[in-house]
Amino acid sequence: MPLKSGAVGRVDLDWLYCFLAFHQGYRMAVLHTLLTPLRGLCRALLGRWLEYRHVEAQATPLDPTRPTIYVLPHPALSDTLALELMTHREGLPRARGHIDLGGARLPACVALPRLSRGLTQVRGRRSLALDSLLEQLAEHPEQDIQLVPVSVFWGRAPGKDFGFWKLLAADSWQWTGRLRRLLSMAVNGKHVQVHLGAPLQLRSLIETRPLPVAQRKMARVLRVHFRRVRARVLGPDLSHRNTLIRGVVDSPQVRQAIREAATARGTREERETRRALRYGREIASNTSYPVLRFLYQLLRRLWNRLYDGVSVNGLDDVKALAGDHELVYVPCHRSHIDYLLLSYVLFREGLMPPHIAAGRNLDMPLIGPLLRRGGAFFLRRSFRDNRLYAAVFNEYVHRLISRGHPLEYFIEGGRSRTGRMLTPRPGMLAMTLRSFARDPRREVAFVPVYVGYEKVLESGSYLKELRGGRKKKESPFDLLRVVRRLRQPYGHVTVNIGEPLRLSGFLDHHVPAWREHRREARPDWLTQAVTTLGATLAQRINAAAAITPISLTALSLLATSHHAMEADLLKHHMRLLTRLRQHLAGGERITLPTGDPEAWIAHAAHLGFIERHPQALGELVLATPEQATLLTWYRNNVLHLFIDMALVAFAYRHNARFDLAQLRALLGPTWPVLAHEFHLPAEDFDARLHRALDALTSEGLLVQSAQDWERPAGHLESSEHLRLLGRLVQPTLERGYLLLAVLLREGSGTLTRDALEEHSRQLAERLTLLSGLNAPEFFDKRLFSGLLDTLEAQGWLWREGDKLCYDAVLEQAQERGRALFDPSLRHRLTQLVHRQEA
């Protein structure tokens, strides 16, 4: 029977398909036969060369007894071989060969196929191996398997050496070709980072969904995981700078600002648009992966020259958030080294360095372009009167946050010249809050960071400024000065991560209705929320402080009249301070120095902070006037950690015995002032008082009876320790006494705030000169300003017009506070005020 032409065509096609399939299978068999020895040779060579860092998910560790299949984000022989070698060396389920599942042989390692890129969209292809795996599990309900996602990064592990080829061959967001991958294996084989994700249990996936849905769900979960890991390690994919700037200028918010600026200035919108583009180029960073790697290598060598080491604590909390949170790092600002050090630490630990808000004063020749390519974006110190600049900057920050770029800025604004945590400024915090309220889909997490130096690089300039010198403007020649200091010892650096703060939870707690008004340009709740947020972050930074041998030396020596102590007494007091700190709750993130007091004193002498004088009756340790002035900076770094115990100790300076009610009445009104100055929670004074009393009693500094606490006899060493501890809070209490004495003498409604601040500052300066003290930070005007802020916030003061007013309650509180001071000290302060008025 003759066949129809269509049938003949189908038969011919069937034969053609069979022939092609046979030919393809024959080719694959031949290729497999030829490539298997070559693959073994590559594995053997790579095994001799490969060094890796294994990063495993913390939440769900790998179960080595369960059938395991590893999944790579894309096909790459180098990644497969690296994974095979790692699993073999560490005794994990093998990634080489096949596993048996219900009679079927499945590959132990598979890769997601590359995305197919069309003209208008990117589509994910199906993985036949993973689809067949799910089908096999569906047919065998008694079987289960764990799917382990694996990400391999070449040239991204810490410790790699500097070199052009390493910069060229290291991983980035772009998929690499075969030649560059071969180069990467040769150059970066000793610097590989392997991330094992949390195992995915496939049985639970197919039991709750039809098979086709489970296949799509599995592929989507894997691709999201790989993208999050890649974003955590490499940062978000960097947009072209010019495109980003053009998008900022074309946004509705900036276009509105352009129209308003054109109307106000009487210019055309085209001219204001060019001005906005100029602002965008002035602000925007130009992050470059090769420059980041270059800076890492440069900084690694710099830290090895400058410091004995860099310790990092608490970074696991950051790694847990990095995948699906927008991270905003908020370090304390003590040195220009802060932002370089934090970026170095994050890069070393496998996290993407943040985009850093830097002052425009750093956008100088040589330094500015390098910082800009390292992730810095620049802002003017003030742009309140330039609404167009403010609109461009706000939109730029919003785009960074919405795209998932980590940020870093200093809530204090400038560097602290006194070593204290400065009052947070609202600018960048307000921008972050507005950006999150505008698009709250991606959670924002603030990461407080405390950086503790044993010797800060700017010691010389800070010393001059503490003595009244003017702040020196930065210049490129500062690099030469740094080079000259490379031979000097600078001790150890500690980077402590504070408790992260999730912004949505913070707003839900403090501003429950924020979502209802989040689309407003400047909602009513913003100002108070920014103030509370800044105070909370400052407290969390302080709660992660690092106590160093230098800060312990400063706390002890500066508590003496002439900055000199017997060496044995100094050792006992330094050890006592560490034990007292351990007694207090809330110190989980605080770090203490290792070693013993003898080593601490020797280290302080080595860094040039003290002098040791042998003497027939025992060694003496002292600080010269210059050293004492510099030590105030390091004392102020950690003074807040002891201020509650110091306040209790100071109460016993003039009084031998107190019961709990007397201490609460005497010290309670003072605590909010101290809490504001030292950025501590003001609402838990009773709990702090009990903990301080328990700590002092346990160390023998107070003796507890049935009803009260008594100081020890004056001839005992514990009495001397109590006196030294109380001296820590004395400068703050003296400042408060001076300010209130001036205000009460002049009367309610007679002084403006500025006049009271300046007059109190002058009296404090005069007191230091008459007392022979070399402590310029004692009369820092900002401390008096903070004191007045607290008194106004607590309702002790209020303004009528521009005058400060008070009532009899303040007079009564000041009268009760007089009991803290012994008669001689009270007489000296009172006489100083009266003579100045006369």
Residue 441 carries which side chain, given as an amino acid letter?
Answer: R
Q: Lowest mean pLDDT of 44-53, 665-674, 725-734, name the range.
A: 44-53
Element (H, E) at 598: helix 597-606
Which residue would you say has higher pLDDT here, 8 or 825?
A: 825
Token duo for residue 360: 């425009």
Round to whole Å and give the CA distance between 606 and 454.
11
CA 807 to chain centroid = 44
| Domain range list for the chain | 50-116+124-234, 241-542, 549-726, 730-837
3-state secondary structure of 820: helix
In this structure, the number of other CB atoms found within 10 A of the CB of residue 715 comes to 7
Annotate 54-66 with b (16+ C-beta within 10 A) or e (fewer). Answer: ebebeeeebeeee
Cβ distance 148 to 109 under 8 Å? no
Which pLDDT value is given to residue 118?
A: 44
* Residue 533, phi then psi, degrees to nearest 5: -65, -45
Q: Band of the pLDDT at 27, cuts 50, 70, 90?
A: very low
Here the tokens at position 245 are 């700037």
| SS3 state of residue 493 | strand
How far is the C-alpha of 83 from the C-alpha of 72, rounded, in Å? 9
Place domain 241-542 in its CATH homologous superfamily.
Glycerol-3-phosphate (1)-acyltransferase (3.40.1130.10)
- State the average pLDDT over residues 568-591: 91
3-state DSSP assignment of residue 65: coil
Is 728 a residue whose pLDDT tops 60? yes
Alpha-carbon span 350 to 193, nearest angstrom: 8
Query: What is the 3-class SS of 517-530, one letter each residue?
Result: HCCCCCCCCHHHHH
Pairing of strands 501-502, 708-710: unpaired
- How far is 52 from 156, CA to CA, in rounded Å? 10
pLDDT-based confidence at residue 17 (cuts at 50, 70, 90): very low
Q: Which has more pLDDT, 400 or 15?
A: 400
Q: How many whole angstroms separate alpha carbon 196 and alpha carbon 226? A: 11
Residue 501: strand pairing partners: 446
Round to whole Å and give the CA distance between 409 and 321: 18
Q: What is the pLDDT of residues 539-558, one digit of tens each?
A: 999 999 999 999 999 999 99
Fold assignment, 730-837: Arc Repressor Mutant, subunit A (1.10.10)
Q: What is the mean pLDDT of residues 581-604?
A: 90
Between the CA of residue 778 and those of 454, 765, 782, 820, 834, what are the distances in Å?
Answer: 22, 7, 10, 19, 20
- Which residue, among 537, 358, 312, has the nearest Cα to 447 in the 3D structure? 537
* Mean pLDDT over each residue of the chain, to the nearest integer: 81
pTM for the whole structure: 0.75
Buried b / exposed e across 107-143, counting CB within 10 Å, b at 16+? bbbbbbbeeeeeeeeeeeeebebbbebbebbeeeeee
* H-assigned helices in 235-331: 241-249, 252-265, 269-283, 289-306, 315-322
Instruction: Express each pLDDT in 226-280 by its tens digit.
Output: 877 877 776 655 546 777 888 899 999 999 999 999 999 999 999 999 999 999 9
Q: What are the start-end ranges of the H helices in 772-822?
A: 781-793, 808-817
Cα-based angle 99, 100, 102 (whole degrees, multiple of 5):
150
98: amino acid identity, one letter: H
The length of the chain is 838
pLDDT in tens, 348-367: 888 888 999 988 888 888 78
Residues 6+ apart with CB under 8 A from 770: 832
pLDDT at 443 > cutoff 80:
yes
CB burial string 258-296: b at 16+ within 10 A, e below? beebbeeeeeeeeebbebbbebbebbbbbbbbebbbbbb
User: What are the pLDDT digits (tens) for 756-812?
Assistant: 888 888 888 887 777 666 666 777 778 888 888 888 888 889 998 889 998 888 888
Helix, strand, coil shares of the chain as percentages rounded to 5? 55, 15, 30
Please write the tens of the pLDDT for every residue from 330-345: 999 988 888 889 988 9
**Nearest of 654, 683, 678 to residue 666 by alpha carbon:** 654
Taking a C-beta distance cutoff of 8 angstroms, is the pair 463, 280 a contact?
no
Cα gap 138→118, rounded to integer Å: 33
